[in-house]
A and B are shown apart, each in its own frame.
Chain A
């Protein structure tokens, strides 16, 4: 088709709806896997929203006072309790890993196998550090007597919501880390360059997969920002 046909197409909102409604694909040039990840993340957003809304409802309606978060989550450096220190480091690590992930995607599309692989590995290690620090925090709280069913600092829902929501998020991070390790291996092995077929799905490997994994990773980061805000800053 000649270029001149492009000029006659409707623009703006109408153009968008025409594009979406046209034949074959609603999102032009977007791979199936990528659309899948976006829609899955939309669904996952609803899961986390339900968790966080339940948490807000639980927190505002309990009869016993909610514990003072800046004391509960503080870390002692020497003798001085520094509120939110650990969380600040965790958040920093996770957001940095998002940066390395974005770079990995860039090098992936540039077919820079080495850089891409190392950056994915760095992302995985960032995620692993995050999970490690989370385990540290859990064990600290458990040591202090916080349990899903009880809490020496105040409302028992504190423990239940904290362990459930950070646990659910931590599971997301852990799954992401596992996939990051698998993908870094695949990158180093060159699967994405020669289009090797997947073990289970028999689909051809493609560097798009790294971007899709990246979408997931950024989402997990974004969710963490909300959990951070609702649990630690409220």
Chain B
């Protein structure tokens, strides 16, 4: 980089993190010393009209809420689709309009909506936008305008996706993995407009997400406040940062495969299409490779799993720490585990393809890398439960959701070891075991975190508390219900029931599972309807919730320390905050209170035996 031209930031100060607190041979004796600001203040665009303030808004917090609401809307659509699927599986022929075509369309749209448009957008677009500037002490995202465009791109992508429900032929029914050749051939429902709209919508999502992702990464890297070193960032930020970095490198593969498949569909190129005989006729395709698509798709698809999981890991670490009133155990280990899992996730994609007909020797490599990932993941679990040990645990709704997360995540993680180990995967792949596994680990577990996070940060966003009583009911319905959906579902997989079956007919060995299927369907309906408690809680608390005041949870991290609650545009009022410590100083021996906020200078807590961070 040609920095020699750059005279604006003239002589830089000493840059080591050691000099921040004045320990690296600095002449300063002041224990509260923090290096002066490197960057000038960001000048923000303040909207004046209703449109620039609330709709085309450049404030990351509003954009975060917009992302959140749009994603939740798609999530509700996905939830309803899952009910319809479960009705068919539990009570075949009960609902007359669920034909095989519709069933496969529901499966596909449910999967794609939940993974991409709901979870990814919710964690990175929703929580990312709201929390990043607040937690790192920035006034806003570094490119507020691009951030706004990012949301509207996502919004258009959602509109295109939803439009596919109303085109002739309906939405695509190709399965969320969209495997060619089947995805674009007439044997699949929605193989004309449906699949094209899906591919276009995904491409738009990728473009929109790239804009947002650049913002998240650069805000975290280049716009932190004074004293906020990388190793003082809350784990939430580490999770979102790593997930965004993964997304920036994984989404290109999705974009490329979408472009190529669109061309295969519309121009009859043969990227993924070999010679095909359908209904006795040789099609115009020839010479392409369907397995290539699977490689591209899973090169995106596996990091995608961690794009959803890593922010959840980060957020749950913070929630546990705050509500257990204890520092997170092994912070550095947690950071390296997040980064390590992120890095490794690019080398494991073909474990989704053990029985796909790829070169069988790949199996050895990918089984090994996959099981290596189990090590840092297991360490994170250990650290969460060790954090609970000798803590002072508030048993509120947020903590309940965290505990629910630990149970479901450990369960789903361990079934992941089954599926990652190639010889074990062969009998289990493409059965209900897979469905149960990934719903447990990247469906229910991140949802537990999302709901916990909503209970945790709702007071910050709206200034009012959610009802604890309703929250607990909501938790138990959701957790016990979801667990009783997916835990028994593993056993369907053990029997060998294949996934994506519209109907099992009277296969001799699954007849015994009819009752189980009915039970799962009922549980799914109950869990779905119990979300009404959640929605009611949110809506009613907006007006009648207990006023939260400042920092109701007595947390340390920066987002609770804004001069106004809820934080205003620009976040910090006159002066940016100055950071003196990590966000986990709970119950420090010698301190007066059981928490020391990140902005508390050392001179105020002189007798506390804090770790140097």
Contact = CB atoms under 8 A, between A and B. Distances in A.
Q: Would A and B touch once assembled, by the CB under 8 A criterion?
A: yes
B1 A30 contact: yes
Interface string B1-22: 1110110010011111111100
Interface of B: 1-3, 5-6, 9, 12-20, 24-28, 34-35, 37-39, 43, 45, 142-143, 145-146, 210, 213-214, 217-218, 221-232, 248-249, 251-253, 255-257, 259-260, 263, 267-271, 284, 286-289, 292, 296, 299, 579
Given A25-B224, A43-B248, A201-B145, A9 B270 contact: no
Nearest to B293: A54
A44 interface: yes
Contacts of B259: 164, 168
12 contacts: A1-B26, A8-B25, A22-B16, A23-B227, A29-B3, A35-B221, A40-B214, A58-B292, A149-B267, A156-B287, A160-B269, A168-B259
Contact of A54 (B213, B267, B271): B271
Nearest to A62: B287
A148 B26 contact: no
Contact of B14 (A9, A34, A160, A202): A9
Given A47-B256, A157-B270, A202-B145, A25 B287 contact: no
B269 A46 contact: no
A24 interface: yes
Contact of B38 (A9, A28, A39): A28
A24 B296 CA distance: 37
Contacts of A51: 256
Contacts of B218: 32, 35-36, 39
A203 B142 CA distance: 11
A161 B267 CA distance: 12
Contacts of B288: 58, 157
A23 B269 CA distance: 51
A103 to B, nearest CB: 12
A64 interface: yes
A22 B231 CA distance: 8
A194 interface: no
B25 A29 contact: no
Contacts of A4: 25, 27
A160 B150 CA distance: 31
B512 to A, nearest CB: 45
Contact of B253 (A8, A46, A168): A46
Q: How large is the interface on A (under 10, 10 to 19, 20 to 34, 35 or more residues)?
A: 35 or more
A11 B554 CA distance: 40
Given A34-B1, A50-B256, A62-B287, 6 more contacts: A24-B223, A24-B225, A29-B6, A44-B252, A46-B249, A164-B259
Interface string A16-60: 001111111111111110111001101110110111001001100
A40 B210 contact: yes
A23 B27 contact: no
Given A5-B24, A26-B222, A105-B5, A50 B15 contact: no
Contacts of A164: 259-260, 263, 269
A211 interface: yes
Contact of A211 (B5, B16, B249, B286): B5
B31 to A, nearest CB: 16
Interface in A81-100: none
B17 A148 contact: no
B20 A23 contact: yes
B579 A23 contact: yes
A55 to B, nearest CB: 10
Nearest to B228: A23
A201 B14 contact: no
A109 interface: yes
B116 to A, nearest CB: 17
A125 interface: no
A46 to B, nearest CB: 4
B14 A43 contact: no
A4 B19 CA distance: 12
Given A8-B25, A54-B260, A27 B221 contact: yes
Nearest to B7: A109
A223 interface: no
Contacts of B16: 9-10, 15, 18-19, 22
A160 B272 CA distance: 11
Contact of B268 (A23, A49, A62, A149): A149
Given A30-B3, A58-B292, A9 B214 contact: no
A24 B292 contact: no
B19 A9 contact: yes
Nearest to A202: B45
Contacts of B579: 23
A219 to B, nearest CB: 13
A203 B141 CA distance: 13
Nearest to A64: B287
Of B229, B230, B260, B269, chain A has the most CB atoms within 10 Å of the CB of B269
Contact of B286 (A156, A161, A202): A156
A13 interface: no
A62 B251 CA distance: 27
A24 B217 CA distance: 13
Contacts of A106: 5
A149 B269 contact: yes
B580 to A, nearest CB: 11
A25 B222 contact: yes
A27 B217 contact: no
A44 B9 CA distance: 29
A149 B270 contact: yes
Contacts of A204: 43
Contact of B222 (A1, A30, A61): A30
A23 B3 contact: no
A199 to B, nearest CB: 11
A24 B39 contact: yes
B256 A5 contact: no
Contact of A18 (B12, B15, B26, B270): B15
A161 B288 CA distance: 11
Contacts of A80: none
B269 A148 contact: yes
Contact of B252 (A39, A50, A201): A50
B229 A32 contact: no
B57 to A, nearest CB: 14
A75 interface: no
A162 to B, nearest CB: 11
Contact of A50 (B26, B27, B227, B253): B253
A50 B13 CA distance: 41
Contacts of A27: 221-222
Given A23-B227, A47-B252, A47-B256, A36 B1 contact: no
